[in-house]
Amino acid sequence: MHRAARITGSLLIAAGALTLAWAVLVWRWQDPFTALYTHWQQGKLAHQLDREVRAFRPATAGDDLAAERRAVSLDARRFQHRATVGQAIGRIVIGRIGLKMVLVNGTDHETLKKGPGRDLRSYMPGENRLVYIAGHRTTYLAPFSHINDIRNGDYIRLEMPYGTFVYRAYTHRIVSASDMAVLRSPDHEQLELQACHPRFFATHRYIVYAHLVSVRPRGMQAYEVEAAAADLEG
């Protein structure tokens, strides 16, 4: 009986040590098993996105900046209306945290397993409204595992089939998971990145806010968004 108790005790200690080691692994890096699934999905999405880029035909713009901005907004609305849930819609690049992944359309459970996703209640880049993107923090390649490392002034780039949009982070907030006000769109373009907070829990959300500062439309001249830059400095 004593021998059985010793064996049981040893097994429990070993199980505890393995559990602790697993927790440290996921905390410091990410869950390797779900990461494999997302890596596979990202490869498929990358091919899908390449096809979308080749097939997309941008609107024809006039000779002035106002006409160009209207054309970009039209392209964005057209793209949003055609996009389906789970579809690849672009790429998100954040140098500060070493992120470069295909962005998907939607934030439901299955879609976020593929990569960071655009909330369907928000808009596409270029529509001059809220662009809201959520991502996992500990599983499925954990795209936003280091969202808290993003600093004011850091650039966030969204590469869409109809153009590239560069945003600059200017603040962050931690809100309750039930706070739906974060999805209320301002009357100008604003990017919000969302991840669960703290890690391993879903009681709150960590939100990074960023202003649009420049646009490089496909087939048109690049331009800066002066109003956003002024807001950032102010």
pLDDT single digits (tens) 195-221: 999 988 889 999 999 999 999 999 889
Query: For the chain, first and last CA: distance in Å?
Result: 74
Is the domain of 25 the same as that of 127?
no
Question: Same domain for 147 and 168?
Answer: yes
- Asked if pLDDT for residue 52 goes beyond 60, the answer is yes
Is pLDDT at 143 greater than 70 in this prediction? yes
pTM: predicted TM-score of the whole model, two decimal places:
0.84
Q: Residues 159, 51: one domain?
A: yes
Peptide bond into 198 cis (omega under 30): yes
- Residue 87 pLDDT > 90, yes or no? yes
The token pair at 167 is 């945003």
Same domain, 36 and 11: no
Same-domain pairing of 24 and 128: no
Contact status, residue 128 vs residue 137, Cβ threshold 8 Å: no
At residue 56, what are phi and psi to the nearest 5 degrees?
Answer: -70, 135
Instruction: Supply the range of the domain harboring residue 106.
Output: 31-233
pLDDT of residue 11: 52
Beta strand extents in the chain (DSSP E only): 88-94, 99-105, 117-118, 130-134, 155-160, 163-176, 190-197, 204-217, 223-224
Q: Provide the pLDDT for residue 202.
A: 85
Give me 85's structure tokens. Answer: 């849930």
From the CA atom positions of the chain, what is the Rg in Å?
21
Residue type for 26, please? V
Q: What proportion of the chain, given as a percentage, has pLDDT over 90? A: 76
- Do 165 and 53 belong to one domain? yes
Does residue 125 share a domain with residue 17?
no
